[in-house]
Amino acid sequence: MGPPEFATKHEQIIQHIEGLSVGTRISVRKIAQELEVSEGTAYRAIKDAENRGIVSTKERTGTVRVEKKQRLHIDKLTFEEIVKMVDGEVLGGAAGLHKTLSKFVIGAMQLEAMIRYIEPGNLLIVGNRTRAHHSALTLGAGVLITGGFDTTEDVKELADELELPIIRSGYDTFTVAALINRAIFDRVIKKQILLVGDILRQDVTVAYLHKSDTVDDLLAKIEETNHNRFPVVDDSFKPVGMITTKDIIGAAGSQTIDKLMTRNPHTVTPQTSVATAGHMMVWEAIELLPVIDEKGKLHGVISRKDVLKAMQNIQMQPQNGETLEDQIWSAFEERRDEEGRLYYHGAIAAHMSNQVGNMSEGILASLISQVVTRTMKEHRRGDLHIDSTSVYYLAPVEIEQNVDLYPTVIESSRRFCKVLVEVSTGGKRVAQAMITARLFDQA
Q: Residues 233-262: pLDDT tens digits? A: 999 999 999 999 999 999 999 999 999 999
DSSP secondary structure letter of residue 415: S
pTM of the model: 0.36
Residue-wise pLDDT for 390-427, tens only, equals 988 888 887 778 899 999 999 888 788 899 999 999 88
The residues, any chain, with a CB within 8 Å of residue 312's CB and separated by 6 or more, are none
For the stretch 301-331, pLDDT in tens is: 998 888 877 765 554 444 444 556 667 777 7
d(CA 223, CA 215) in angstroms, rounded, equals 12
Which pLDDT tens digit goes with each residue over 28-79?
A: 888 888 888 888 888 878 877 876 778 877 655 577 777 654 443 334 678 9
* All residues at 6 or more sequence positions from 144 whose CB lies less than 8 Å from its CB, including other chains: 82, 86, 88, 104, 123, 124, 125, 126, 166, 167, 168, 169, 176
Question: Residues for the chain: how many in total?
Answer: 443
pLDDT value for 351: 67
Distances (CA, A) of 208 to 203, 269, 430: 16, 17, 66
Element (H, E) at 373: helix 361-379
Helix (H, G, I), strand (E, B) or coil at 432: strand
In a 13 Å sphere around the CA of 60, the CA atoms on its Cβ side amount to 0
Residue 211 confidence class, pLDDT cut points 50, 70, 90:
very high
